[in-house]
A and B are shown apart, each in its own frame.
Chain A
Amino acid sequence: DTAVSQTPKYLVTQMGNDKSIKCEQNLGHDTMYWYKQDSKKFLKIMFSYNNKELIINETVPNRFSPKSPDKAHLNLHINSLELGDSAVYFCASSQGPSYGYTFGSGTRLTVV
């Protein structure tokens, strides 16, 4: 029944490690996004894919690499994790510009 699902929900890892977060949506939406929410709750766009094609790549360190194997999936891989990467990462999808985004439940990443 879940519309946008992310795994894992929590991720605690050491500096320098590589980790991935997976996202899947069953809404049939064409566009998917990754947002980062910092400790002050600021939501910042990282990437956007439309039908498997990258359309937005904000100023994000190239340690972050999104991958979209099909339009229902958008994964985020992070290399060489740093303390400053600690945040909540949200995946979202949308049907179009006039429609709301549906967010996943978020992945709380803690780098120690």
Chain B
Amino acid sequence: GQSLEQPSEVTAVEGAIVQINCTYQTSGFYGLSWYQQHDGGAPTFLSYNGLDGLEETGRFSSFLSRSDSYGYLLLQELQMKDSASYFCAVRPNQAGTALIFGKGTTLSVSS
């Protein structure tokens, strides 16, 4: 089967740094993606890691280790607007497959 594990909740204060981990077990692997979803909104794409290493986009970075079937999303200089759900997602390495999402991590940022 396919499974992705991530913490259900994380809390932090403004200005802090938070890391959301994701481990996966899938029949194949074509990269790890991260999505953000605010309450009542649509998921929005944050980052994609196809190869091992760190990808940085502004305050957000994402890391992948394929040998460990593990990745994380790092959020720096947290702001209140970062309070949202964060999903990791994997596309198994088969033709015609779609993203499989983790169950999401709810991040609450307080002042």
The 6 closest A-B pairs by CB, nearest first: A100-B45, A55-B96, A103-B42, A43-B101, A45-B98, A48-B98
* Chain B: minimal CB distance from A89 (Å): 11
Contact at B91–A105, with CB atoms within 8 Å?
no
Interface centre among A41, A44, A55, A99, by most chain B C-beta atoms within 10 angstroms, is: A41
Contact at A101–B96, with CB atoms within 8 Å?
no
* Chain A: minimal CB distance from B68 (Å): 21
Seed contacts A43-B101, A56-B97, A100-B45; 19 additional CB < 8 Å A-B pairs:
A33-B98, A40-B103, A41-B85, A41-B103, A43-B43, A50-B96, A90-B42, A90-B43, A97-B30, A97-B31, A98-B50, A100-B33, A100-B35, A100-B48, A101-B45, A101-B99, A103-B44, A104-B42, A105-B41
* Chain A: minimal CB distance from B41 (Å): 7
Contact at A43–B87, with CB atoms within 8 Å?
yes
- Sorting the interface of chain B by its residue count into under 10, 10 to 19, 20 to 34 or 35 or more gives 20 to 34
B100 close to chain A: CB less than 8 A: yes
Assuming the contacts A98-B50, A103-B44, A105-B41, asked whether A42 and B98 have C-beta atoms less than 8 A apart, the reply is: no
A79 close to chain B: CB less than 8 A: no
Interface centre among B42, B50, B98, B103, by most chain A C-beta atoms within 10 angstroms, is: B98
B71 close to chain A: CB less than 8 A: no
Partner of A41, one of B30, B45, B50, B104: B104
Contacts of A44 in B (CB 8 A): 101
Q: Closest residue to B85 on the A side, CB-wise?
A: A41
Number of interface residues of A (CB under 8 A): 22
Contact at A105–B42, with CB atoms within 8 Å?
yes
Q: How far is the CA of A89 from the CA of B37 in the complex (A)?
A: 14
* Chain B: minimal CB distance from A31 (Å): 8
Q: How far is the CA of A44 from the CA of B48 in the complex (A)?
A: 19
Contacts of A90 in B (CB 8 A): 42-43
A102 close to chain B: CB less than 8 A: yes
Assuming the contacts A42-B104, A50-B96, asked whether A101 and B48 have C-beta atoms less than 8 A apart, the reply is: no
Contacts of B50 in A (CB 8 A): 98
Q: How far is the CA of A104 from the CA of B97 in the complex (A)?
A: 20
